[in-house]
Amino acid sequence: MKLLLVEDEPAVVSVITRGLAEAGYEVSVAPDGASGLRMALDNPSFLLIILDVMLPNMNGIEVCRALRAAQVATPILMLTALGTTENIVMGLDSGADDYLVKPFKLAELEARIRSLMRRKNNIAAPVISPEQGLLQLGDLELNTDTKAASRQGKTIQLTATEYRLLEYLMKNPRKVLSRMELLEQVWGIDFNMNTKVVDVYINYLRKKINKNNLPELIQTVTGLGYMLKEQTADENTH
């Protein structure tokens, strides 16, 4: 399996390439953001990109955005020394599929790679038949074929992560979904990742689908998680 590692620290490159080679991966290395972007665009055979945030010439956030703008759908695992919620969200917002905070153990990196590969394969598999391509809850609609969302007929612009989160919520209406379940199902992460990331994205979704003071659809269930459901007439009056 061919991977692209975009990393400028020789010690980190050495550990990752040696460890992943022993695990059966073929790793190509780019020492800066600009060359990493070129290699990713020129070689569609990479099955995953490991991308450091702090890079010369072009940082990882810029590289990630450029790849997604070019419609490159290859899974991206971002490496960062900055583990705050804000920095994690910035990386995910730029189009990354997962992140790993430095320093990390090689075993965890390998597990994250396997997790992303499982998710990629699951996404590639047809889950919804053409007749079932439209998810609907009240006046909120999501077309899983065109990836378009709308409410009361007005288009809602979603990032890739917001789309995946809304799709999972709409496939599980009126069910209480824990933050860990959302992390595992939407981000494909099987670890104790900072669950504040879920709260941040729920707030993003709420602002977009409740625009112009429309009734709230994403309910917070205190201590348990979130639930997507229509408000009753009684709830609307309070």
Lowest mean pLDDT among 50-54, 76-80, 152-156, 192-196: 192-196
Q: Which of 2, 63, 70, 71 is nearest to 35 (CA)?
A: 63
Question: pLDDT class for 237, splitting at 50, 70, 90?
Answer: very low
- Contact partners, residue 96, CB within 8 Å, separation at least 6: 51, 64, 76, 77, 78
Mean pLDDT computed over 13-24: 92
Highest mean pLDDT out of 56-70, 93-107, 211-225 = 56-70
Show the tokens assigned to 34. Answer: 């600009």
pLDDT at 236: 47
Q: Distance (Å, rounded) from C-alpha 131 to C-alpha 158? A: 23
Which regions of 1-120 does DSSP assign to beta strands (E)?
A: 2-6, 26-30, 48-52, 76-80, 98-101
Q: How would you class 129 by CB atoms within 10 Å of its CB: exposed for 0-12, middle for 13-18, buried for 19 or more?
A: exposed
pLDDT at 170: 92
Which regions of the chain does DSSP assign to beta strands (E)?
A: 2-6, 26-30, 48-52, 76-80, 98-101, 134-137, 140-143, 148-151, 154-156, 218-221, 225-228
The pLDDT tens digits for 136-152 are: 888 899 988 888 899 98
pLDDT at 121: 61
Helix runs in 24-59, H state only: 33-42
Higher pLDDT, 69 or 121: 69
Q: Phi and psi at residue 101, in whole multiples of 5°? A: -90, 130
Is residue 198 pLDDT above 80, yes or no?
Answer: yes
pLDDT at 55: 94
Higher pLDDT, 191 or 214: 214
The pLDDT tens digits for 90-120 are: 878 888 888 888 888 898 899 888 888 876 6
Mean pLDDT computed over 75-85: 83
Is residue 153 pLDDT above 80, yes or no?
Answer: yes
Question: pLDDT class for 232, splitting at 50, 70, 90?
Answer: low
Percent of the chain at pLDDT exceeding 90: 41
Mean pLDDT computed over 49-78: 92
Q: Distance (Å, rounded) from C-alpha 101 to C-alpha 17? A: 18
Show the tokens assigned to 166. Answer: 């809304």
The dihedral built from the CA positions of residue 149, 154, 157 and 158, taken in this order, carries a sign that is: negative
Question: pLDDT class for 34, splitting at 50, 70, 90?
Answer: very high
Question: pLDDT class for 123, splitting at 50, 70, 90?
Answer: very low
Q: Phi and psi at residue 31, in whole multiples of 5°? A: -85, -5
Mean pLDDT computed over 204-220: 88
